[in-house]
């Protein structure tokens, strides 16, 4: 295997991870978790849908929760492109690749293109969204962890190499990657468009499934405050992993599961990576997953994730060489 080459002049201009849509069983329980505990701002809501944004976001929404029957699932992830012309170029790119690409109506968004990536992930692209007040200095509106903005998604996919090659062909650049010790096989691939460590991360596992959506928070004390508040509000068991410190990306983090089992990450302290000479940072698996000062992840963190609507997960193609997924998980959860 080889590390894919970056494409500096991509076929269309994706600017950043933008939003995601999750289905939930009980919207009032979700509201309690995301608004009363985490501190999201409500941009709009009705009986069946809540549109949320972080305090630093002027876009209408970065997280949409839709009440639905059945197993809670991820409906789609969203990416922003820069111009309307980029949307047309994206339509041609996906159509030429033989992948689904169609125009759809999406509330509070401009023209929206719904596509499937090479792994089967439902993705939607838009260039514009309704604008809302940016509340980053409206301190009276700040609450909980004070989520600032959506930063990235992590997906479990059966073939990380294939997913990485496809997204790099759209101009995403590899910032960091984890390989089995002494190899260049891609176990984890961290890809970015906006100039910080990642907009989308691919990890090995049955998929495609949404592992988490990540939101930045302002200060380190917010990690502990939101965990204290979670316990106070009866959400103690929803704190899944952390607070802790990542190796790749260098972030402080905490992962929480919402009332439907969807996972979100709260993090801070990402760094800047955008210059043309910036090469991907390689991590040996034994180093990347070595426990720093936090307690180790539970096994569920590696294997549990939200299914996408109408997408049947496929098992990973890994045959156990040079490192099986189970061996990797065992090394990280010890």
Residue spans of alpha helices (H) in the chain: 27-31, 84-96, 160-169, 221-232, 285-288, 299-303, 325-333
* 117: its two tokens: 């990536």
Q: Does 214 contact Fe ion by CB under 5 A?
A: yes
Site string for Fe ion, 13-32 (x = CB under 5 A): --------------------
> Can you tell me whether residue 63 is helix, strand or coil?
strand
Number of H helices, E strands in the chain: 7, 18
Shortest CB 267 distance to Fe ion, Å: 6
> Can you tell me whether residue 221 is helix, strand or coil?
helix
How many Cα atoms occupy the beta-carbon half-sphere of 82 within 13 Å? 8
Shortest CB 253 distance to Fe ion, Å: 7
Q: Does 199 contact Fe ion by CB under 5 A?
A: no
Shortest CB 295 distance to Fe ion, Å: 18
Shortest CB 327 distance to Fe ion, Å: 22
Nearest residue to Fe ion, by Cβ distance, number only: 214
Shortest CB 152 distance to Fe ion, Å: 6
* 147: its two tokens: 């989520």
Q: By the 8 A CB rule, do 306 and 263 touch?
A: yes
Judged by CB under 5 A, the stretch of 61-69, 147-155, 273-281, 310-318 that binds Fe ion is 147-155
Q: How far apart are CA 256 and CA 266, in angstroms?
A: 8
C-beta closer to Fe ion: residue 106 or 200: 200
C-beta closer to Fe ion: residue 10 or 248: 248
C-beta closer to Fe ion: residue 43 or 268: 268
C-beta closer to Fe ion: residue 86 or 199: 199
Judged by CB under 5 A, the stretch of 6-14, 150-158, 172-180, 270-278 that binds Fe ion is 150-158
CB atoms inside a 10 Å sphere around CB 220: 12
Tell me the residue ranges of DSSP E strands in the chain: 14-24, 41-45, 49-53, 63-67, 74-81, 101-104, 112-116, 122-126, 149-157, 173-179, 188-192, 200-204, 209-216, 239-245, 252-257, 263-268, 281-284, 306-307
Q: Does 200 contact Fe ion by CB under 5 A?
A: no
Site string for Fe ion, 245-284 (x = CB under 5 A): --------------------x-------------------
How many Cα atoms occupy the beta-carbon half-sphere of 247 within 13 Å? 18
C-beta closer to Fe ion: residue 43 or 192: 192
Judged by CB under 5 A, the stretch of 71-79, 153-161, 271-279, 325-333 that binds Fe ion is 153-161
Shortest CB 87 distance to Fe ion, Å: 27
Q: How far is CA 259 from CA 42, 73, 207, 300, in A?
A: 18, 12, 22, 16
C-beta closer to Fe ion: residue 114 or 210: 210
- Binding stretches for Fe ion (CB under 5 A): 154, 214, 265
């Amino acid at each position: 295997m080889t590390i894919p080459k970056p494409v500096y002049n991509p076929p269309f201009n994706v600017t950043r991870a933008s939003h995601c849509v999750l289905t939930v069983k009980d919207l009032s329980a979700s509201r309690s978790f995301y608004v009363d505990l985490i501190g999201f701002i409500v941009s709009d809501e009705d009986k069946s849908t809540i549109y949320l944004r972080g305090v630093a976001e002027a876009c209408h929404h970065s997280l949409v929760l839709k009440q639905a029957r059945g197993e809670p699932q991820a409906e789609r992830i969203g990416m922003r492109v820069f111009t309307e012309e980029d949307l047309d170029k994206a339509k041609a790119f996906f159509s030429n690749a033989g992948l689904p690409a169609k125009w759809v109506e999406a509330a509070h968004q401009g023209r929206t293109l719904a596509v499937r990536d090479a792994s089967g992930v439902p993705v939607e692209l838009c260039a514009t969204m309704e604008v809302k007040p940016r509340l980053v200095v409206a301190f009276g509106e700040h609450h909980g962890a004070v989520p600032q903005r959506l930063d990235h998604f992590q997906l479990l996919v059966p073939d990380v190499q294939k997913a990485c090659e496809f997204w790099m062909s759209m101009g995403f650049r590899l910032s960091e990657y984890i390989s089995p010790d002494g190899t260049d096989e891609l176990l984890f691939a961290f890809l970015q468009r906006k100039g910080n460590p990642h907009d989308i991360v691919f990890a090995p596992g049955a998929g495609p499934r949404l592992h988490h959506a990540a939101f930045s928070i302002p200060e380190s004390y917010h990690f502990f405050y939101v965990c204290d508040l979670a316990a106070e509000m009866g959400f103690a068991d929803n704190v899944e992993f952390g607070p802790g410190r990542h190796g790749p990306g260098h972030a402080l983090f905490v992962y929480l599961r919402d009332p439907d089992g969807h996972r979100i990450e709260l993090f801070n302290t990402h760094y800047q990576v955008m210059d043309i000479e910036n090469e991907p940072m390689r991590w040996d698996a034994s180093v990347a997953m070595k426990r720093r000062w936090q307690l180790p992840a539970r096994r569920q963190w590696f294997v549990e994730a939200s299914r996408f609507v109408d997408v049947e997960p496929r098992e990973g193609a890994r045959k156990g060489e040079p490192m099986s997924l189970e061996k990797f998980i065992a090394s990280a959860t010890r």
